[in-house]
């Protein structure tokens, strides 16, 4: 059973994204620590991106660009500045990307499709929750579809012609993604789903605020004030 309601996890995502966008320096480092602690306690499924090599490759690229970045002139590939100012820019880029990823992953991973439908129904935005749920499912399936497509092209010797292989990869991936989305919509239509009606959403999915939500909101407010005070 989840510790907080769907609205509580959504508030955590909004809190994390807002602080990740306005935070700087040590504020971002402290935010990442708080998000990681939240994930260990109440949303371990949301820590899954940290176990992916590709994610850390992206973070490493952000760090590697640091010596070529300066706060005043931006990217300078011809004259890398191997000093703290350039390195701090790369560290801040990596920390911001990490905090944004955790904010979305930790909050949204705890929400099911029924959670999203019920949540936006209560916010008087019928249909938006279903659309977001479909998009989330597509994102989860996109990685596996891309891997299968790439392996198929590779086994057929398509990598010998990179431009042709790239075109085939993109066309196949977009086609499969659209087909998968159409299948989800068809299933919803077969079950007589009406985006303008809330009778298909589970009222208990978001339900009333749980007692733990009050503590979560208080903790988010206090930690947000403390993080901003670091600046």
At 217, list the tokens. Answer: 């909101």
What distance in Å separates the CA atoms of residue 15 and residue 12, rounded to the nearest whole number?
A: 5
CA distance linking residue 125 with residue 131, whole number of Å: 11
Which residues neighbour 122 within 8 Å (Cβ) at sequence distance 6 or greater? 206
Dihedrals φ, ψ of 182, to 5°? -65, -40
pLDDT of residue 164: 83
For helices 26-42 and 84-108, the axis angle rounded to 10 degrees is 30
Q: Output helix, strand, coil percentages for the chain, rounded to the nearest 5.
A: 75, 0, 25
Instruction: Give one DSSP letter per residue of 42-62, joined into a string.
Output: H-GGGGGGGG-HHHHHHHHHH
Please provide the DSSP assignment of 123-151 as one string: TT-TTHHHHHHHHHHHHHHHHHHHHHHHH
Output DSSP code: residue 68: G
CA distance 124 to 196: 10
Pairwise CA distance, residues 176 & 149, whole Å:
10
Delimit the domains of the chain by residue range. 1-111+206-231, 127-196
Q: What number of H helices and E strands is found in the chain?
A: 9, 2
The pLDDT value given to residue 83: 56
- Give me the tens of pLDDT residue by residue for the chain, a chain 231 residues long: 568 888 889 899 999 999 999 999 899 999 999 999 999 999 888 898 888 877 888 788 777 766 665 554 444 445 555 556 667 777 888 899 899 999 988 988 887 777 777 777 777 777 777 777 777 667 667 778 888 888 888 888 888 888 888 888 888 888 888 888 788 778 777 776 665 555 545 545 455 567 888 999 999 999 999 999 886
pTM of the model: 0.70
């Amino acid at each position: 059973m989840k510790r907080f309601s769907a609205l509580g996890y959504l508030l955590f995502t909004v809190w994390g994204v807002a602080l990740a966008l306005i935070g700087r320096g040590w504020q971002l480092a402290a935010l990442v620590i708080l998000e990681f602690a939240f994930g260990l306690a109440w949303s371990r499924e949301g820590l899954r991106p940290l176990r992916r090599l590709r994610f850390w490759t992206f973070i490493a690229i952000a760090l590697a660009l640091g010596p070529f970045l300066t706060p005043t002139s931006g990217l300078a590939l011809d004259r890398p500045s191997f000093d703290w100012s350039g390195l701090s820019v790369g560290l801040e880029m990596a920390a911001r990307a990490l905090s944004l990823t955790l904010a979305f992953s930790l909050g949204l991973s705890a929400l099911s499709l029924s959670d999203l439908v019920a949540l936006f129904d209560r916010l008087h935005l019928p249909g938006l929750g279903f659309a977001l749920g479909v998009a989330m499912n597509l994102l989860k399936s996109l990685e596996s579809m891309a891997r299968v497509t790439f392996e198929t092209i590779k086994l057929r010797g398509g990598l010998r012609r990179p431009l042709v292989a790239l075109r085939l990869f993109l066309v196949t991936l977009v086609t499969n993604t659209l087909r998968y989305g159409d299948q989800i919509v068809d299933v919803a239509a077969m079950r007589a789903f009406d985006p303008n009606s809330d009778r298909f959403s589970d009222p208990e999915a978001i339900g009333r605020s749980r007692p733990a939500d009050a503590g979560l909101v208080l903790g988010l407010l206090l930690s947000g004030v403390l993080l901003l005070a670091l600046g």
